[in-house]
Structure 1
Amino acid sequence: MMKLKLLVIPASWIAEDNAAVQASQETANPLSRSQRFNTKKHTQAEIEEAIPDSNVQHANPPWMPYSYTLWHSLIAKSQGLATSHVLKMPSVLCDDLMLLHCSWLRSGRFPSYLLNPLVEDLKSSRTGRKLMSLLDGKQRWFIRLDQMSPKDSPLGGDRPSTTIQEVITKIASSMRAYGNLQWATQAEERPWGENRANVQLILNPWNDKMDPAREFRVFVPPPPFGAQRKRWRLPYHFDVVLQDDGSVQLVELNPFGAMSGCGACLFNWIIDARMLYGLEDAGFAIVLDEPM
């Protein structure tokens, strides 16, 4: 029987890891990811060396089964949302947002000749008319796309959105959101007869109690070789947030695996591979300013 072990990680270790990655950006061979914590997008060779067992299949997992909108009802119920909205983004808007993102990367700003027409075109669409009734400058919303939220946007990506222009500029200045838009144009996982996957914009009421510092990531590895799951056959991980009353709320589901684009948080997909893949005792990791 497997046991659960507590892993206490000093905050200084996280800071040192982040500093090392930041310093590498100024070298001739910059690192694109953390070297100890929250790693992702490993190669097949890396994970096969860590877990050579041929019974474990290593591949870049699909996104569709973990799409936020597929689990939206469950997430909304878990969070007790009184209202929530899912809107299909017009394909032309997605293309324009990708162009706007390229402009942002070049200049760090949004030229008015690109931004203003995009805002007006969106307002004239069916999706835009719905958005105008929600983004009235008063109501506060948490926004995200099916795969990612634009929380990495330097234009308030981690703050509530109240206007259409805020939504556009946050998405267009986010590498995470750009990855979602790009995936939609290239995805093999697309509706039958469509030349791209749909991109959905989700608006949930902003909740000040959704504290990232109290979020936990739970890893559900592949089943042991020969075992069968009757209802769900894919490995996955899900995020939950701890509330003041001790309850937890579901945040999202994501693909599992070292080759996925999903970070391992306080673990490393390669160093901690046997633990994360369920081959050794599980670990419960927390960060403290000072170790116990």
Structure 2
Amino acid sequence: MKLKIIPTKSSLQTSQPLMLLEVPTAQLTQNNSTISLHVLHEISPLIPNSDHFQHAMPPWAPSSYSLWPPTITKSQNLQHHHAFRIPAFLFEVLMRCYSSWVNSGQVAQDLVKDMTDTWISLKSSKNIKRCFDGKREWFVRLDQMSPKDSALIPGPTRSIKDVVRKLASGMKAYGVLHREADEAKVQKKEMVMHVMVNAWNASMSRGFKFRALVAPAAAQGVVLGLDAGKYDPEDFCLVAISKYRWLKPFTLPDGLTTQQVADMVQDGAHRVLLDITRSADNSLGREVHEMLIKSKFTVNVSLQ
């Protein structure tokens, strides 16, 4: 099925269209912010509850980024990537760093030093200092929080102190950390904080990034069998693709038409979706399979 191109309200006020790409059968309601708004009473007639599917909040975290590093590194052909764990006992120190930023707009140097000195002194953190040598540039992510969500370090990260400043100056990081803390308390387990680190790719631009929505496969009657992974990737359907920076005009890459861009994005989204389902087949457990089938999710596609 071909995507059609629907200009949003703001694109009518510019010479270069801001695009919302979606399948012809989707129903849209637009509010004054020019973003598509779907509410339950609109969705239910198209995707009704059934024996296999119920509309509900998904049980997993908004990003669950730590599940997908192998898939991401393969998809982006990354040569250098790492995963570091922040010890649970440093949670309170990191929260003091956050409070310092909220109160002053900066993170107090003594707090940053306390946090970094303790972190890199641990045996389990021996590779962190080698990674953050002050020269190489890294993309640092804490689940839902990406570099752009940091007020102090919105771009690449070069040092471990910058990692602390990045995490301490992001509202999303605060939310992620407290969600992990609350979950650990309820489940009576140790808090887990994973920082994912990939080589910085300067050629990636949010201006050429798109977000694709995948409908819940369970709504089509798909049921996970006794053996995890026994489902067809075709069971997962792309229902909409939107421009990531939907408030900004979209400038076409040189030599491409809007329809060519739409076709490239759709093809890329299908390939990313195939990578995800293959990864689930090969390495993830039944719980993740069930969440993929029962919950809608989004994937990001970047034109390069």
How far is 1:142 from its partner?
Answer: 0.6
| 1:13-35 Cα distance to aligned partner (Å, 9 max, x none) | 899xxxxxxxxxxxxxxxxxx96
The answer to whether the aligner puts 1:199 opposite 2:193 as a matched pair is: yes
Higher helix share: 2
SS at match of 1:160: coil
Distance apart, 1:250 and its partner CA? 5.1
> In structure 2, the residue corresponding to 1:142 is in which secondary structure?
strand
C-alpha distance in structure 1 between counterparts of 2:57 and 2:199, whole Å: 33
What residue number does 1:166 align with?
162
The SS at the match of 2:148 is: coil
- Residue of structure 2 equivalent to 1:5: 4
User: For residues 100 and 160 of structure 1, what CA distance do their matches in structure 2 show?
Assistant: 20
Contact kept, 8 Å, 1:155 with 1:169, in 2: the verdict is yes
Q: Residues of 2 paired with 1:264 and 1:73: CA distance?
A: 15
| Structure 2 partner of 1:144 | 141
- Look up the match of 2:176: 180
Structure 1 CA distance, aligned partners of 2:165 and 2:12? 34
Q: Give the distance between the partners of 1:264 and 1:194, measured in 2 at CA.
A: 30
* Matched residue SS, 2:222: coil
Asked if 2 retains the 8 angstrom alpha-carbon contact of 1:79 and 1:250, the reply is no
Name the structure 2 match of 1:228.
222
Matched residue, 2:212: 218
Distance 1:235 1:183 in 2: 30
In 2: Cα distance, 1:88 partner to 1:123 partner: 11
- The amino acid across from 2:84 in the alignment is L
Map Cα deviations across residues 50-90 of structure 1 (whole Å, 9 max, x no partner).
33445163322122595222221111011111121011211
Q: Deviations over 1:97-134 (max 9, x none)?
A: 12211221122122233222112111212354321000
- Superposed CA RMSD in Å reads 4.4
The separation in 1 between residues aligned to 2:35 and 2:206, in whole angstroms, is 15
Tell me the amino acid that sits aligned with residue 207 of structure 1: N
- Give the whole-Å Cα distance in 1 for the aligned partners of 2:220 and 2:59: 22
Unaligned ranges ≥5, structure 2: 15-30, 245-252, 257-263, 277-290
TM-score normalised to the size of structure 2?
0.62
Indicate the residue corresponding to 1:282 in structure 2. none
Identity of aligned residues (%): 30
Q: Which has the higher contact order (CA 8 A, sep 6+)?
A: 1
> What is the number of equivalent residue pairs in this alignment?
234
**Does 2:121 align with 1:124?**
yes
Q: Which amino acid aligns with 1:83?
A: H
For 2:144 and 2:185, locate their aligned partners in 1 and report how far apart those are by CA, in whole Å: 13
Equivalent of residue 49 in structure 1, options 41, 47, 66: 41
Deviation beyond 4 Å, 4+ runs, structure 1: 10-15, 37-40, 232-241, 243-253, 262-265
